[in-house]
Structure 1
């Protein structure tokens, strides 16, 4: 029920497009742009091609826009989270601090299908690695999860130490806590960069967990 209400709110934010052509994906846009495609065939055998174009460079300003293209022409746009009405369903678009966490086609029957990333995009290149080297891809995914879990544990240790050592903290009730891991300034920087890289890698696969990826953001 809550998801349906949120989708209705998202649909109300959709604005009509201006008909401009879909710009070609350029290699230097891999860190600032995501492009996904969806091909649908209706009951008469006619093919419709949708494209979802998301530019991340406005994220620092507090918003990201998703653009929907229909057969190569700008059809609609919306701030994310977005829900675009399309043939026999909707396309949901949601972002995290590191990229996309959802770009799915949900049919009227409730089935979900992830859109196909453009081959030139970072998401498309990551998908190609998964197809060409599935074992390597799986280990990269496992490593990303391990890095985020380790980062979360370190964060919990630091917060526990900070809270119990505060002047008006909880030390008088539970005692003080000293983190068993004391990172140097450089160590903290390395851990921070590693967690950003891990969350970015997961975003390229549209993987998101509120505790791991949300905490890293």
Structure 2
């Protein structure tokens, strides 16, 4: 039920496009633009995401192009109706977290990233060096889990220092104490891990 209303809300955010042509992907847009595509019913559908824009911008941050012409645009998160389903688009502070074609038959498919984009370069690295890519992903996941454990432990300690809470559940002392340099290194490593997962469209609630 919740997913149904969420889908309806995201579809309502899609507005008619202005008919403008899709601009070529440029190298200097590496950190400000993501571009994905798929083929449906003999047409090429492309989703262009501009990370520097938000709902207050003059132009909407996400746009759907059919054969190079803008047909829909919307603020994120948004769902674009296409033949046979919808394309769900969402981002986090680390990048694109959802770029999936959800078919009417229930099948789910990730769109293909532009080869010059960050996502495309990460996908090319994964194809060329699959073992190294898998190792990077595994290390990143461990870093996120460790970071989550540290955050929850510190939060529990702070909460149980409140007098009312301490009277009922006692005081919790975190067993994890980080040295000075680790306090900076762990968040930095966690941010890099979150970015890597976003580039592979494998963002998790831990990364967000």
Q: TM (normalized to structure 2)?
A: 0.91
Residues 78 and 89 in structure 2, CA contact (< 8 A), matched pair in contact too: yes
Q: What are the residue-to-residue correspondences of 1:1-217 with 2, within 5 Å?
A: 1-40=1-40, 42=41, 47-58=42-53, 65-166=61-162, 168-210=163-205, 212-214=206-208
Cα distance, 1:17 vs. partner? 1.0
Residues 36 and 53 in structure 1, CA contact (< 8 A), matched pair in contact too: yes
Cα distance, 1:209 vs. partner? 2.1
Q: Tell me the SS of whatever aligns to 1:24.
A: coil
The 2-side partners of 1:61 and 1:182 are apart by 42
Cα distance, 1:185 vs. partner? 4.7
Segments of 5+ residues of structure 1 without an aligned counterpart are none
The number of residue pairs the alignment matches comes to 207
The 2-side partners of 1:143 and 1:61 are apart by 37
The 2-side partners of 1:173 and 1:4 are apart by 41
With over 3 angstroms needed to count, the CA separation of the structure-2 counterparts of 1:202 and 1:76, relative to structure 1, is same
The 1-side partners of 2:117 and 2:53 are apart by 18
Q: TM (normalized to structure 1)?
A: 0.88
Residues 147 and 194 in structure 1, CA contact (< 8 A), matched pair in contact too: yes
RMSD of aligned alpha carbons? 2.1
Residues 140-149 or 64-73, more deviating: 64-73
Residues 182-191 or 80-89, more deviating: 182-191
